[in-house]
Structure 1
Amino acid sequence: MVGIIIQARMGSHRLPGKILMDFEGKTLLNHILDRLDRLDHPVKIVIATSNLKQDDVVESFCREQNICCFRGDERNVLKRYFDCASKYQFDTIVRMTGDNPFPDIDELDRMISFHLEEKLDFSENFSVLPIGVGMEIMSYPVLQQSFENAWLPKHFEHPDEYILDHLTQYKHGISSVASEKNRPDVSLTVDTGEDYEKACYILQHACAAYVTTQRAIELSDDYERDRQSRI
C-alpha cells in the first residue's frame, strides 16, 4: 500500500501554530488535503503529529476531517515515520510536511508511477521543484534500515537524512519536471511570518481553486518584486 505521511505539529519555533492558521479561508492543512483530492493513485493519508499536549488540537482536526492521525515522538521524526508506516503496513511511503500549501499533485502522481515502475528504493523531485512543492518516496525496507542504523543526531530529525547520507547504497532516482517548473531557487514553503504573507498573496491573486506550480512561481516572483520596491 502507498501511504502518504504528512508530518505536522503546532510547535514551530518561528511561526507557532502555522499548520492550523487561516490561509485565505482554509487552514494550511486543509489546503494540502484539498490538493491531495486530485491525486489519481490510490493512497492512504495519515497526519503524523507529536504526542505533546499542544498537538491534541491536531488530533481533533484529523477527527473532524475524517483523516487518520498518528501520534509519536516529537523530536525523533524518523521513529515517528517508521512507527506510523509500520502501524498502517505501508510498503511505499510518500513524505510530505505540513508547512507546504502548494504541493504539486500532478508531479506526485508522476513520481509515484516512476517509483513503482522503476522499483526504486528512494525517489524525489524536491531538488528540481520550488522549495515546498516537491516530495520524496521511500520503500518500507529502506525506512526500516534507516531506523535501525541511524546514529547521527541529524538522522533522527528527518526520515530521509540517513538515506541521503548513504544514497549510493540504494536504487534511487529523480523524477524530472518541465523546465518552467524547475525553479529550486523559489521558496513556496511557510516557515516565517513573511512566508505566510507571500502564501496569502499567492492565494489572493491566483484566481483559481487549484494554484498550479507555474502560477505560484509567477506570483512568488511578483511578490518578491513588490517587496523589494517597498524596501
Structure 2
Amino acid sequence: MKLGVIIQARMGSTRLPGKVLTDIGGKPLLSHVIGRLATMRNEAKSVVATSTASENDSIEAWCVSHEVAVFRGDELDVLDRYYRCAIAFGFDNVIRLTADNPFTDIEELDRLIDFHLDGAYDYTHAFGQLPIGVGAEIFTFAALERSHRQGHMPHHREHVNEYFTDHPKCFRIAELPIPVAKRAPALRLTVDTYADWERADNLVKKSSQKWLGTEEAIRLCSYSA
C-alpha cells in the first residue's frame, strides 16, 4: 500500500496573488505545509501538484531547490491533476492538502489515516469541527478514479472531493471524531485574504512551538479577541 500526500498549489489567487510563496513568520507558506508533513507518524510520499501555467514555474523551482517532488497538470481541472499525479506516483490512497493551509494538524492527520485504513473507507475527512484550514481528507485511488470517470460537472473538476459528497450512496464515507479541545469550526486558519495572512503571520510569531498546534492557535486567537 503506497500512501501519498498531494498538495495542490498555484500562484494565481485572485484575492491574494502568489500566496503560496508569501512569507509567513520567516518562511514561505508552502514551506510550512511541507515542514509539518515531515513530522507524520505514517509513512507517505509528499508531492506538490501545480499546473502547467508559466506563472507556476516559481513553485516548481522552489520544490526542486528544496528536493520536494512536484507534478504539473491541468490548471482548471484539478480532479484530473490529482488523478494523473496519483497514477504517476502509484498511490493507493491519497491525502489531499492545499498549499494555502499552513496549520494542518498532523496529529489529527495521522489519526485520520489510521481511521480511514482501519475502516476500509473510500473517503474520510476531518472537516466541520476543527478550525477552517486545519483538517484534511483522504480517499482511495479507486474512489478518485471513479470520480474522474463519472464526475462531469464543472464543480466536480474544480473541487476534488465534491463528486464524493454529491454521491454519498456510491462511497463508504466517514468523518473523523475530533477532541473537544480542538473544536473551533468558526476560526479561520486558512490563508485566502490579506487578513488571513496577517493572522497566520502573527500566530507563527507568537507561537511557543516550532509548528503551531491547533489548541495553541485557538488559545492565541481567543486571547487576541
Q: TM-score, normalised by structure 2?
A: 0.97
Gaps of 5+ in 1: 226-231
CA contact (8 A) 2:25 2:202 kept: no
Hey, which bits of structure 1, 4+ residues long, moved more than 4 A? none
Give identity over the alignment, percent: 42
Within 5 Å, give how 1:101-120 maps onto structure 2: 101-120=102-121
Aligned to 1:229: none
Residue 156 of structure 2 is aligned to residue 155 of structure 1: yes
Deviation at 1:207, TM superposition (A): 2.2
How many Å separate the matches in 2 of 1:76 and 1:43?
24
Q: TM-score, normalised by structure 1?
A: 0.95
Deviation at 1:220, TM superposition (A): 2.4
Residue 223 of structure 2 is aligned to residue 216 of structure 1: no
Residue by residue over 1:150-182, the C-alpha shift from the partner in whole angstroms, topping out at 9 and shown as x without a partner, is 121111111111111001221111111110111
Aligned to 1:171: 172
Within 5 Å, give how 1:178-197 maps onto structure 2: 178-197=179-198
Deviation at 1:60, TM superposition (A): 0.5
Aligned to 1:2: 3
| Residue type at the aligned position of 2:198 | E
**Counterpart secondary structure, 1:203:** helix
Gaps of 5+ in 2: none
Aligned to 1:20: 21
Aligned to 1:127: 128
Change (3 A) 1:168 1:128: farther
| Residue type at the aligned position of 2:80 | K
How many Å separate the matches in 1 of 2:89 and 2:168?
26
Residue 54 of structure 2 is aligned to residue 73 of structure 1: no
| Residue type at the aligned position of 1:175 | L
| Residue type at the aligned position of 2:153 | L
How many Å separate the matches in 2 of 1:77 and 1:221?
35
How big is the alpha-carbon RMSD for the aligned residues of Structure 1 and Structure 2?
0.9
